């Protein structure tokens, strides 16, 4: 039975993702086992059949993504989960879901890479893959929670965003928060905002499957309900048929991107800590943001005016927030478990208004608060 009462549990991050997905209305999951994301598939395999949903273990990651697309086209809220190597295999079909405007959620529990890399070690090396993993100009929504309770709520948000904007949404976890256990307050369904895709307001005869209104998002009919339309990986017109007409191509591709980029205010989620009087700002996300928050406390104890901007939404990137922050502080430090993927975005958005320092780490260990503090002190001396 669906949970209608608020309960508190000690959950693993991947378990919290399962709870959030079910609360959001996900009723189809297709996947393939991979460390450190397998517990998500295991949880969905146990829980979905009980509530009338469907779980499918596919033969590989490519097929998993294809099955998710098919389920979404029939009207189901659909999700898959993997890690870096599996996401690589899904990218062709993620591109298909993007151009076909097919809602779905892809969870990536990031691990060390490239290739097989370090299956049991955390990483944040896939944040640019989330943005540009599939080719061509395209919209992306990607969320990176920092604790287990937030995983539940950001999973709900990811499903909502996918339904609202008719696009794949990436949920970026990492091995640390996927496998840690924390107290989670599981809300009742009536406490949550649940978004469902728009249905066609017209009859079957007048239906144009890719005709959007002022919000740039076309209503979506479910396969099997009498509304017939063509879905293709080619650029298409409002009827869904392939087109090479320059005017139609330009209009479609700009709408595809703008429906996300121009709604960034609705999509961007962030958290500020001790930034009011800060002279040094830390910009962090995911599990590293936990360490960064402790760094701020340590720095303040030493008389260093540090603050934290925690990014939850990584894409679309919050350029305006970074630009305003760069006007207030002398230095921005960006610690991340990669070699500077988000720090380059911060530097671009700062427009040279302050120094932007990358602190990247790729040895498989989580960045700790003392390391960040030492980097701050090093930069202050310079």
Question: Which residues, 6 or more positions from 250, have their beta carbon under 8 angstroms from its beta carbon?
Answer: none
Around Cβ 46, how many Cβ atoms within 10 Å? 11
Closest residue by Cα to residue 292 from 302, 300, 301, 284: 284
Around Cβ 242, how many Cβ atoms within 10 Å? 11
Helix (H) or strand (E) holding 9: strand 7-12
Distance of CA 356 to the CA centre of its chain: 24
Q: What is the pLDDT of residue 192?
A: 94
Closest residue by Cα to residue 122 from 178, 41, 81: 178
Domains in the chain (CATH in brackets) are 7-191 (3.40.50.970), 270-381 (3.40.50.920)
Contact between 299 and 350 under an 8 Å Cβ cutoff? The reply is no
| pTM confidence score | 0.96
What's the burial of 272, exposed, middle or buried (CB within 10 Å: 0-12/13-18/19+)?
A: middle
Q: What is the pLDDT of residue 5?
A: 64
Whole-number Cα distances in Å, 149 to 12, 22, 52, 199: 10, 15, 26, 32
Q: What is the pLDDT of residue 380?
A: 87
Instruction: Using 70 as the pLDDT threshold, list the residues of the chain that sit under it.
Output: 1-5
Distance of CA 55 to the CA centre of its chain: 22
pLDDT per residue as tens digits for the range 337-374: 999 999 999 999 999 999 999 999 999 999 999 999 99
336: phi then psi, degrees, rounded to nearest 5: -160, 155
Whole-number Cα distances in Å, 93 to 167, 177, 271, 350: 12, 27, 33, 34
Walk across the sheet containing 270-273 and list its strands: 270-273, 306-311, 280-285, 331-336, 355-360
Give the Cα separation of 109 and 125 in Å (integer).
Answer: 11
Q: What is the pLDDT of residue 1?
A: 41
DSSP symbols for 103-157? -EEEEEEEEE-STT-EEEEE--TTHHHHHHSSSSS---EEE---SHHHHHHHHHH
pLDDT per residue as tens digits for the range 183-223: 999 998 889 999 999 999 999 999 999 999 999 999 999 99
Q: What is the pLDDT of residue 341?
A: 98
Q: What is the pLDDT of residue 4?
A: 56
**Which letter, b or e, does each residue of 144-158 get, where b requires 16 or more Cβ atoms within 10 Å of its Cβ?**
bbbbbbbbbbbbbbb
Q: What is the pLDDT of residue 229?
A: 85
Give the Cα separation of 139 and 146 in Å (integer).
Answer: 23
């Amino acid at each position: 039975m669906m949970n209608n009462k608020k309960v508190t549990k000690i959950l693993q991050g991947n378990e919290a993702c399962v709870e959030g997905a079910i609360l959001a209305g996900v009723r189809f999951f297709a996947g393939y086992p991979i460390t450190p994301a397998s517990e998500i598939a295991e949880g969905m395999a146990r829980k979905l059949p009980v509530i009338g949903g469907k779980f499918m273990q596919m033969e590989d990651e490519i097929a998993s993504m294809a099955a998710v697309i098919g389920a979404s086209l029939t009207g189901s809220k659909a999700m898959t989960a993997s890690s870096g190597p599996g996401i690589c295999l899904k990218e062709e079909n993620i591109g298909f879901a993007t151009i076909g405007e097919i809602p779905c959620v892809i969870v990536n529990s990031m691990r060390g890479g490239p290739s097989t890399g370090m299956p049991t070690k955390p990483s944040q090396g896939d944040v640019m893959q989330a943005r540009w993993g599939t080719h061509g100009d395209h919209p992306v929504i990607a969320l990176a929670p920092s604790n287990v309770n937030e995983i539940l709520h950001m999973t709900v948000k990811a499903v909502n965003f996918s339904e609202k904007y008719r696009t794949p949404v990436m949920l970026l976890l990492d091995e640390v928060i996927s496998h840690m256990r924390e107290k989670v307050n599981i809300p009742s369904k009536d406490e949550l905002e649940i978004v469902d895709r728009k249905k066609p307001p017209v009859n079957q005869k007048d239906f144009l499957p890719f005709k959007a209104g002022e919000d740039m998002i076309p209503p979506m009919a479910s396969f099997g309900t009498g509304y017939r339309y063509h879905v293709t990986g080619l650029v298409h017109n409002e009827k869904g048929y392939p087109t090479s007409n320059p005017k139609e191509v330009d209009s479609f591709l700009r709408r595809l991107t703008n429906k996300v980029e121009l709604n960034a205010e609705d999509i961007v989620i962030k958290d500020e800590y001790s930034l009011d009087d800060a002279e040094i700002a830390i910009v962090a996300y995911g599990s590293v943001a936990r360490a960064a928050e402790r760094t701020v406390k340590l720095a303040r104890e030493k008389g260093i005016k540090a603050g934290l901007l925690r990014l939850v939404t990584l894409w679309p990137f919050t350029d305006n927030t970074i630009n305003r922050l760069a006007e207030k502080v002398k230095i921005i430090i960006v610690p991340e478990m990669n070699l500077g993927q988000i720090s380059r975005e911060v530097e671009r958005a700062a427009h040279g208004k302050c120094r932007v320092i990358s602190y990247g780490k790729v040895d498989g260990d989580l960045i700790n608060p003392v390391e960040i503090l030492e980097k701050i002190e090093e930069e202050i001396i310079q």
